[in-house]
Structure 1
Amino acid sequence: MNEGYVKVNDVNLHYVTEGEGELMLFLHGFPYFWYNWHHQMEEFSKDYRVVAVDMRGYNVSDKPEGISSYDMSILVEDVKQLIEVFGEKECILVAHDWGGAVAWTLAYTAPEYVKKLIMFDAPHPYTFRRELEENPGQREASRYMGYFQRADSHEALLENNAERLRKMMTIPGKKKGYLSEEDEEKYIEAWMQPDAMKSMLNYYRAISFYPFEEHVQKPLELPYQMFESPTLIIWGDADPAFENSNLDGLEDYIRDLTIHRMEGVSHAPHHEKPHVVNQYMRNFLEKKN
């Protein structure tokens, strides 16, 4: 794979790319980086120009100072300019977790950039707001956001060779057999990049719906209520961060919707079951509309 840097929205973002053809752009979540997509990149570089980016604040991309540098409007502008800098007006957008939150917002503010959308365990903005307001289980599952917003949380997460993050992500992955020791070392190296963890957590510090009691009653205002482009959601139904009820009622907001629920799979299906996920993706992408 080839790698490089592009200047977008006043930051230098690191990316990895392979293949030729239509642009397929991958956006990772917390606490991942571009490598989170390597199984999908290997598969889809056969047919597409795949690009996986280290989002601002992550790994070796720029890490601008200040919480306001991670406002959602800025993150969305990063993605718009990424699509343009690779010479396209639209792309197949593939996203997970925080990358998914950015991708959803792009879809409901500038849908012309998204030809097709593929989402992994990233709750829809309308249903997530609903679940935070109405579902005590979702509020409890999201309490970790309060910890992440603490001023010292980045230091605590890096203690003892990032022990808390390893317990959260890489140790379970190694026990299940889908992550190797080498994979774990790659993640630890990315987390330990200077100022990376602080910048990664600034995504949480910049959000406007926590504490929930103060914010969820405010209506969500996005320019569009309905997203028209074909959308695939692949969802691990054993995800501790998101209640499965986030999927209820999505047809009210997405015109052309396909959902695959993966039983017993946790927060990152594309990591945990890459071959199954890749087949779901290929079936979706080859579907004649």
Structure 2
Amino acid sequence: MNLFQSNYVNVNDVNLHYVTKGEGELMLFLHGFPYFWYNWHHQLEEFSKDYRVVAVDMRGYNLSDKPEDVSAYKMPILMEDVRQLIEAFGEKTCTLVAHDWGGAIAWAFAYTYPEYVKRLIMFDAPHPYTFRRELSENPAQRQASSYMEKFQQPDSHDYFLANDCEKLKQLLIAPGLEKGYLSNEDAEKYMKAWQQPKALKSMLHYYRAAGFYPFEESVKKPLNLPHTMFESPTLILWGNADSAFENSNLDGIEEYVRDVTIHRFDGVGHAPQHEKPKEVNRLIREFLTKTS
């Protein structure tokens, strides 16, 4: 891990922390909640062999700037972060790898700026069109997403900071330690990231800015994406035991993604890149080879 270069880049009026390693085509990694760049360390080690890998702390997370206004976390601003990141590294296109909230941003980005995305690799982030459908039609998805009501409350960060981040430890660390895919050292890194000043408040601004709940209102809002079909090769790696997203989110995705490969991990939860890193890396490698 000491071989990663840690630095900052100023984009879109914020300083974003990132780590990087390797040379070649840009491979940009976007994490979700409640992670930070370290979420990708298994993939960074593997693909830095032949790519320039960059994993960023999204705005509001860990060592990156944490704007105070909820409006600073609206989707057009988050997409502009990504666009300027790619250009800041001297590139016009990249392989974009994303998970959870990072995946939500990556989907929107791909349909807004498709020319920047040579390949798309997605982990447990529902497609915006199918997720809208599932929230509208599937009671099980509305129940699975009901946590968003709590997350978008103005004081929800106090709830997660209480008792030394006990709720977040139950959400992410305890299952990882129990199953063996997280170490005590990993747990300490996450705790340190969560307890950065103002971090949890900013992390939850993503939910507040999106305002998903109540779902009856959010599904009526127009998506405002310029395209309905994404043309570049896309790999979706999906944990079938993800408690946040129904597997039906994958149904009909071919209507919106021209060239899509889907791999489902049975018995795996929300973060396959944590639980099955060797298999994930093998599948990504096969995908990259096939689409190079």
TM-score range with shorter-chain normalisation?
over 0.9
Give the match for residue 197 of structure 1: 200
Q: Does the 8 Å contact 2:148/2:212 carry over to 1?
A: no
Task: Give the aligned partner of residue 39 of structure 1.
Answer: 42
Matched, 1:4 2:7: yes
Structure 1 unaligned spans of 5+: none
TM-score, scaled relative to structure 1: 0.99
Equivalent residue number for residue 174 of structure 2: 171
Give every structure 1 segment of 4 or more consecutive aligned residues whose post-TM-superposition deviation is greater than 3 Å: none
**CA distance in 1 between partners of 2:264 and 2:97 (Å):** 17
**Displacement after TM superposition at 1:214 (Å):** 1.7
- 1:54 alignment counterpart: 57
Structure 2 residue 112 is matched with structure 1 residue 141: no
TM-score by length of 2: 0.98
Equivalent AA in structure 2 for residue 224 of structure 1: H
- The aligned runs of 1:73-222 (5 Å cut-off) are 73-222=76-225
Shift of 1:87: 0.2
Structure 2: give runs of 5+ residues left out of the alignment.
none
Q: Secondary structure at the match of 2:18?
A: strand
- Contact conserved, 1:29 with 1:97, CA < 8 A, in 2? yes
Kindly state the Cα deviation for residue 261 of structure 1 after the two structures are TM-superposed. 0.3
| Counterpart Cα distance in 1 of 2:125 and 2:51 | 23
Secondary structure, aligned partner of 1:3: strand
The CA deviation at 1:151 is: 1.3
Aligned partners of 2:223 and 2:106: how far apart in 1?
A: 16
**RMSD of aligned Cα (Å):** 0.8
- The aligned amino acid for 2:197 is P
Aligned length: 289
Describe the SS at the equivalent of 1:233: strand
Q: CA deviation at 1:209?
A: 3.2
Describe the SS at the equivalent of 1:173.
helix
How far apart, in 1, do the equivalents of 2:141 and 2:222 lie? 18
1:219: Cα distance to partner? Answer: 4.2
Check if 1:241 corresponds to 2:244. Answer: yes
CA deviations 1:47-103 (Å, max 9, x no partner) are: 100000000000010001110000000000000000000000000000000000000
Q: Please state how far the C-alpha of 1:216 moved relative to its aligned partner.
A: 1.1
Find the counterpart in structure 1 of residue 25 from structure 2. Answer: 22
Percent identity between matched residues is: 72
Post-superposition offset of 1:221: 2.9
The alpha carbon displacement at 1:210 in A equals: 2.1
Quick check: 1:30–1:200 contact (8 Å CA) kept in 2? yes
Equivalences for 1:222-241 in 2 at 5 Å?
222-241=225-244
- Aligned-pair CA distance for 1:136: 0.3
Structure 1 counterpart of 2:191, one-letter code:
I
Question: 1:266 maps to which residue?
Answer: 269
Q: In structure 1, the residue corresponding to 2:210 is in which secondary structure?
A: coil
